[in-house]
Amino acid sequence: MTRARLAVACALAAFSIEALAADPLPQKDPITTHVLDTSLGKPAAGVAIALQRRSGNVWEEVGQSRTNADGRADRLYPRGRALERGTYKLVYRTAEYFKARGVETFFPTVEVVFEVRATGEHYHVPLLLGPFAYGTYRGS
């Protein structure tokens, strides 16, 4: 390799390292959800969600978010905090979502309780939501 090519390669490598340091890849949240409004067959945008963790007999809030236009909430867990084993609960505030649409609902909130046993895994908990019914499962 000539000196000129070596200098260019070194400059490109330094630029790449600086670019990565300045703009790191987004961290994938360990707990995410997706809400589908089954009455519309579309994502439910704007649903307020709280993530809670059980500590003894008390539920402590870990984070909160709203679903985006695609019905996804992927910023529930605090950035930089290691996922802890334990029992978690997603609390979906469905009454305000349906009220904003002018739709009556039977469930003012939906609470989904689940166990985190392996802290290295991703937990995706989708919610299929209708005004008078809901369902959930462990997604991927």
Summarize pLDDT for 1-25 with one digit per residue, the tens. 555 554 544 444 444 444 444 445 4
**Nearest Cα to Cα of residue 61 among 33, 90, 37, 85:** 90
Sketch out the chain's domains with CATH numbers. 31-136 (2.60.40.180)
Other C-beta atoms lying within 10 Å of the C-beta of residue 124 = 17
Amino acid at 38: T
- How far apart, in whole angstroms, are the C-alpha atoms of residue 7 and residue 19? 18
- pLDDT score at 42: 98
- The stretch 76-104 carries a mean pLDDT of 96
Average pLDDT on 58-87 reads 96
Say what percent of the chain tops pLDDT 70.
81
pTM for this predicted structure? 0.80
- What's residue 74's pLDDT? 87
